[in-house]
Structure 1
Amino acid sequence: MTRKSWQLLLALLAIPAFAQQNPEPPRLEISDFHFITEVDERFQSFNIEMCEVVGGDFWVPYGLLDPEKVKKEGFAALKHSISPIDLYDQKLRTLTRGLGSAYIRISGTWANTTYFQDNDEPKMTQAPEGFETVLTRKEWKGVIDFVNEMDAKLVTSFAISEGIRDRNGHWTPDQVQALLNYTESIGGEITAAEMFNEPSHASHGGAPEGYTAADYAQDFEVFKKFIDKAAPDIKILGPGSTGEGGILPIDAYMATDQILSAKPQPEFDIFSYHFYGGVSRRCQGGLTPEGALSEEWLSKTELGLKYYEEARDKFLPDAPIWLTETAEAACGGNPWAVTYLDSFRYLEQLGRLAKEGVKVVMHNTLARSEYALLDSETLDPRPNYWSALMWNKLMGTKVYEADFSHDELDIFVHNLKGFSDGYGVLIVNPKDMESSFSLPVDAEKFLLTADSLQSKTVRLNGTVLELTSDHALPAIGGQMIAAGEIQVPAHGIMFLAIKK
């Protein structure tokens, strides 16, 4: 072979090698977006625990946990007394208003044993027999005023303990009727309600000893007949179970299939469930920050949905499905739930569940414990708050599938909120290397980054996101980018506003 032939052969061999090292980035074709479903206009919503409203025992912050006390007292040492939340606090109201229209769920295990004190006397120092805590008119009016001021809609649940029952152990509506009457008298409205919180864990949630699926069915029949007559506009949610399908280690629980197949068979307007991908370190869980960006972890929310979706399809095939309680981990969240690291789970959960047809996702909580959107002491925004703010700003109710495959990036497409035509695109890079894609149109970019994964500070297009000196939200502005190759930094979260 001549020298010239060798040179030609080497040149030909070099072409595919070079191309392999520098491939064209995948192209995000706007024309390939196709509509798949629509979510509720209040899709992104949140919980305020009944414990926060009335005051009580809630999760001890990690910085205050006493290991020796935990060894001696066990589970009880994981909680401490908290004061009722001030729902008239202007900073709290300003930040909540920034998240847009939402459902606000007042529930949690405490609601299962809470007595409504239907008078204007000072708060009882001890709950009546069969209850564990007391909700006053003043506290409930704070809830109603807050919900109305936020242009929100109220979701709640009611007591199930011995105190709400007659001498024969049957569930009675007296307490619910009193709460409904007072709510209406002060200009409030309950949009939807679960009979009680997490019947799957009734034995740990204040229900009578030995409570069964048959007991649930009998109670629910009375509850539904009462609601249908006394407050027919309230949507009944249920069952609100959690942890099944191998998601959480559960020693004893009442399976959703048992609840839904008991006679008389419960029927709900909306099928609800709860999801936590694991248990926090506080409760001896084994989750680690190293696994918080893995596909196994980020996709676990879909695994949890699959279990409850199958139950819904089997028993209530026409019911919309809502996730009425979720967060990073059960038992108050892990230490890294307060950092940028959990922003990936937070946004991927919204994006993935929207594509799967879940209509509403309620984060737990707004302002208490590590998994809260706001710091409970200062009410300062945590990284997940800024993620929620961006979702509210850009992601509409129409959900699209993008005919787009990328090994490093996860992409979610909705209509652009507030515009008759256009798209809001969320691009998540959970990898530790920069990645890119090609965009055929101009767009407005909103890039979230942090100096480290476990930072509590988030940057938007390079500028630290923080409140102004008077506790107002900063201006949220994007950066115009031209069509072409778009770089997404390692561990970057990018929103795009594409206006047609």
Structure 2
Amino acid sequence: MFKMSAFFVCAKNVVILLLLICNGLARTEGNNEIMDKHAGVVSMDVTVFTSGVAETVSERFLSVTLDTGLLLNNWIHLNLSSSKVLSLAKHLNPVYLRIGGTLQDFLYFEEMPAKLNYSHRKHADLKPFNITSKILDDLFVFASKVGWDVMFGMNMLDRNPVSWEPWDALKILSYISKKGYPLAGLELGNEPDVYNLILTKRPDPEILGKDFQHLRDLMQMIPFLNSSLLVGPDVTNMCLLNKAYIDFFTRYLDAAHTALDAVTIHQYYLNGAIAKLEQFYDPSVMDILEIELLSAHKILRTHAPGKKIWLGETSAAWNSGAANLSNSFVAGFLWLDKLGLAARYNVQVVLRQDFYGGSYGLIDYNTLDPNPDYWLSVLYKILVGTKVLDVVVMGSKRHTRVYAHCTNRKRTDYPPGSVTVYALNVFSSKDANLTFSQFDKHLVDVYQLQPVGPMGLRSKTVALNGEPLKLDTDYRLPKFIPKRQMTPITIPKLTFGFYVFPMAKASACL
């Protein structure tokens, strides 16, 4: 699928990290790692602050996307009525389903306005196209069956010389309203900070921001949209060294923020066309997200005060992901760390690009079987609650990355006060031994994930506590059975997992 983000995501992340390290902003290694350089096990003590909640995220924190290109191509291989697909989708609930991407700015409903020939576009393969009422029916019927809440991306490049033209968008909304389909929210435009790569001239950000105000005014006049969200602007470049993009973002927010329910940014670490295996578990790559979130929060405090951040489209690698990497076990390191960092930095929703499509889909492009990140996402949904807890790690915290939440009691039978820790060991040669002084000699339920078979980190098969995960013949998920043990916890090299403390009695989780 065509993915313009290949051109926009920060290309100078290494330079940024070096500058931040010089200024004391990037994470640094603890002495324990240096002292234990040649040992087979690195030990560290973890403290979870259980007396108060650090942040609270949405119940739909882990959400998914489908690219607008699927609508152009009649869903490609994605069978929306498949029992397998329906089963896999239901187990991710609750989620937002974002329909968006580069091609949303070329989408029209039924009849394309003849006056808009897009002669000002730079790429000949980006052409306006129509979707039919059947495509919308397919989408909303599927969403209803699996319980997903649709966020629909509107075409912002449907414009007169001055501003956005709402008439085609109103035709879409009128049809959705007539059919009684629930609509969780709207977006307007995809990655407008890089419209200069699509168009011969990018509209000024103040004008685009006013278009959001126009859409909000329309939403307030349409009763069925009274409770729908409006999120944006889906900018894609949070690179701290690129003043032009930051300036665009701030001017856009100044004009649009009062119309928005949340501020969306897009985030990728790597170019899928050239990404390497070791980058998927490299701490310096993982740290990029923390830097970008710090930048985004700083901007919002001044230019969109009180608004929450969403990762409106995100994965490890753009360009439809990295073949044989984004759909293998190794992808889980960047995905799980992203979920941990995003929650800790009060990102309300993380929209995974994508549920289906390319190499980064949660389900396989051809077979529709679950990819490794699907199993990781389902376990996250089951075990991790919305209340985020602070964690301090004494030792090699860049290579052993630890996060904690109150346990999700809506999908488990764990008692009040339970705590779920999830952790990644990205050492390539050392196991990590985690002690929890506050939970000394406590029982802990271990959900350890490891790759299966000779492909190692490139494996598409994942084992939970040594048992390969797979669907049964009726496409039902297996039972996720933990291994109960006493603390401490040992995490094998280059693996990750979830660890539930059922008797933590955390006051923040009662």
Q: TM-score, normalised by structure 1?
A: 0.81
Question: 8 Å contact 2:62–2:350 — kept in the other structure?
Answer: yes
| Counterpart in the other structure of 1:44 | 62
| Counterpart in the other structure of 1:376 | 365
SS state at 1:388 partner = helix
Q: 1:254 to 1:470 in 2, by over 3 A?
A: farther
1:330: how far off? 1.4
Q: Is the aligned partner of 1:142 residue 2:138?
A: yes
| Counterpart in the other structure of 1:238 | 232
* Equivalent-residue separation in structure 1 for 2:56 and 2:73 (angstroms): 37
| Counterpart in the other structure of 2:20 | none
**Aligned AA (1:401):** D
Instruction: Give runs of aligned pairs for residues 48-447 of structure 1, distance below 5 A.
Output: 48-55=66-73, 83=76, 85-117=78-110, 129=117, 132-161=128-157, 164-166=158-160, 169-205=162-198, 209-230=201-222, 231-246=225-240, 255-261=248-254, 267-281=259-273, 285=274, 287-335=275-323, 336-407=325-396, 408-418=399-409, 419=414, 420-432=416-428, 433-439=430-436, 440=440, 441-447=442-448
* Equivalent-residue separation in structure 1 for 2:64 and 2:395 (angstroms): 31
SS state at 2:392 partner = coil
CA-based RMSD of the aligned residues comes to: 3.0
1:265: how far off? 7.2
Residue deviations 1:421-460 (CA, integer Å, cap 9, x gap): 2111102111121121224210111100114112111111
Question: 8 Å contact 2:314–2:353 — kept in the other structure?
Answer: yes
1:219: how far off? 2.6
1:84: how far off? 6.8
* Equivalent-residue separation in structure 1 for 2:350 and 2:60 (angstroms): 9
| Counterpart in the other structure of 2:491 | 488
2:466 pairs, out of 462, 469, 480, with 462
Question: 8 Å contact 2:238–2:245 — kept in the other structure?
Answer: no
**Aligned AA (2:237):** G
**Aligned AA (1:240):** D
Residue deviations 1:346-389 (CA, integer Å, cap 9, x gap): 00000111001101000001110011111111111111111101
1:401: how far off? 0.8
* Equivalent-residue separation in structure 2 for 1:329 and 1:22 (angstroms): 31
RCO comparison, higher one (Cα < 8 Å, 6+): 2
1:217: how far off? 3.2
Question: 8 Å contact 1:202–1:254 — kept in the other structure?
Answer: no
**Aligned AA (2:359):** E
| Counterpart in the other structure of 1:59 | none
Residue deviations 1:73-123 (CA, integer Å, cap 9, x gap): xxxxxxxxx7373322221111111112100000111111101128xxxxx
* Equivalent-residue separation in structure 1 for 2:385 and 2:483 (angstroms): 20
**Aligned AA (2:341):** R
- Structure 2: unaligned runs, 5 residues or longer: 1-34, 119-126, 504-510
Question: 8 Å contact 1:201–1:254 — kept in the other structure?
Answer: no
Residue deviations 1:389-440 (CA, integer Å, cap 9, x gap): 1101100000001233231421111111115321111021111211212242
Residue deviations 1:254-311 (CA, integer Å, cap 9, x gap): 821232345x876422111111113221xxx4x3222221211112111222222222
1:339: how far off? 1.2
SS state at 1:469 partner = coil
Question: 8 Å contact 2:356–2:362 — kept in the other structure?
Answer: yes
1:26: how far off? 3.6
* Equivalent-residue separation in structure 1 for 2:150 and 2:306 (angstroms): 23
* Equivalent-residue separation in structure 2 for 1:177 and 1:113 (angstroms): 15
Question: 8 Å contact 1:338–1:371 — kept in the other structure?
Answer: yes
**Aligned AA (2:329):** Y
Question: 8 Å contact 2:48–2:392 — kept in the other structure?
Answer: no
Question: 8 Å contact 1:37–1:357 — kept in the other structure?
Answer: yes
Question: 8 Å contact 1:199–1:254 — kept in the other structure?
Answer: no
Question: 8 Å contact 2:257–2:304 — kept in the other structure?
Answer: no
Question: 8 Å contact 2:237–2:245 — kept in the other structure?
Answer: no
**Aligned AA (2:357):** R
* Equivalent-residue separation in structure 2 for 1:352 and 1:150 (angstroms): 28
**Aligned AA (2:91):** G
Calculate percent identity across the aligned residue pairs.
21
1:35 pairs, out of 48, 53, 62, with 53
Q: TM-score, normalised by structure 2?
A: 0.79
Once the two structures are overlaid, the 10-residue window that deviates more, 471-480 or 38-47, is 471-480
* Equivalent-residue separation in structure 2 for 1:24 and 1:44 (angstroms): 31
* Equivalent-residue separation in structure 2 for 1:45 and 1:308 (angstroms): 20
Question: 8 Å contact 2:40–2:431 — kept in the other structure?
Answer: no
1:250: how far off? 11
* Equivalent-residue separation in structure 1 for 2:421 and 2:257 (angstroms): 42
Question: 8 Å contact 2:42–2:433 — kept in the other structure?
Answer: no
**Aligned AA (2:61):** F
**Aligned AA (1:308):** A
Question: 8 Å contact 1:158–1:194 — kept in the other structure?
Answer: yes
Q: 1:25 to 1:147 in 2, by over 3 A?
A: same
* Equivalent-residue separation in structure 1 for 2:460 and 2:380 (angstroms): 19
Query: Which has the higher Rg, Structure 1 or Structure 2?
Result: 1
Question: 8 Å contact 1:426–1:495 — kept in the other structure?
Answer: yes
1:22: how far off? 11
Q: 1:253 to 1:114 in 2, by over 3 A?
A: farther
* Equivalent-residue separation in structure 2 for 1:258 and 1:350 (angstroms): 29
**Aligned AA (1:172):** E
Question: 8 Å contact 1:428–1:493 — kept in the other structure?
Answer: yes
